[in-house]
């Protein structure tokens, strides 16, 4: 099942992104700190749920999700962020790029699940596609 491979990839990437969003949350600087601080909290809360949903779906399909940080970091394509001071614009630009990456991944997951007649995984993926498309539109508008 190709979708298990994609699920594991997205699961690993979700945890790295979750951590990156915390870094942004704690270390944003500037006059719009309160807004970006709140927005990044929403992002990491959302990705905690995504990480869990992906892991549970992997188990439902009879496989084992990523369970160690080493496994996550070895697999993840989303890059960690080690800086500790950010302006809001660079955070928004980084989140936008990561969202575009996730959008491609969830579309790929939807297609793989559809080929295998796995409507549950397809529904999970399509739900994330809808959310990410809206979030990308909103970030593009904010950065314009």
Q: What pLDDT, in 10s, does the model give residues 9-28?
A: 999 999 999 999 999 999 99
65 three-state secondary structure: coil
> Strands 28-29, 86-87: parallel, antiparallel or unpaired by DSSP?
parallel
CA-angle at 131, arms to 133 and 127, nearest 5°: 115
Contact 47, 95 (CB under 8 A): no
| pLDDT score recorded for residue 1 | 83
Nearest to 80 by CA among 133, 22, 140: 22
- β-sheet bridge partners, residue 86: 28
Q: What pLDDT, in 10s, does the model give residues 51-109?
A: 999 999 999 999 999 999 999 999 999 999 999 999 999 999 999 999 999 999 999 99
Give the predicted TM-score (pTM) of the model: 0.96
Which domains, from first to last, does the chain contain?
A: 2-143 (1.20.1260.10)
């Amino acid at each position: 099942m190709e979708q298990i491979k994609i699920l594991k990839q997205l699961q690993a990437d979700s945890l790295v992104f979750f951590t990156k969003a915390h870094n942004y949350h704690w270390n944003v600087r500037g006059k719009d700190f309160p807004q970006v601080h709140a927005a990044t909290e929403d992002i990491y809360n959302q990705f905690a749920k995504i990480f869990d949903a992906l892991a549970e779906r992997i188990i439902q399909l009879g496989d084992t999700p990523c369970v160690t940080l080493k496994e996550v970091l070895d697999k993840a394509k989303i890059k960690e962020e080690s800086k500790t001071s950010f302006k809001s614009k660079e955070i928004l630009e980084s989140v936008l790029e990561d969202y575009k990456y996730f959008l491609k991944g969830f579309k790929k997951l939807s297609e793989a699940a559809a080929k295998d007649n796995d409507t549950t995984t397809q529904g999970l993926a399509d739900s994330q596609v809808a959310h990410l498309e809206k979030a990308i539109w909103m970030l593009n508008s904010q950065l314009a």
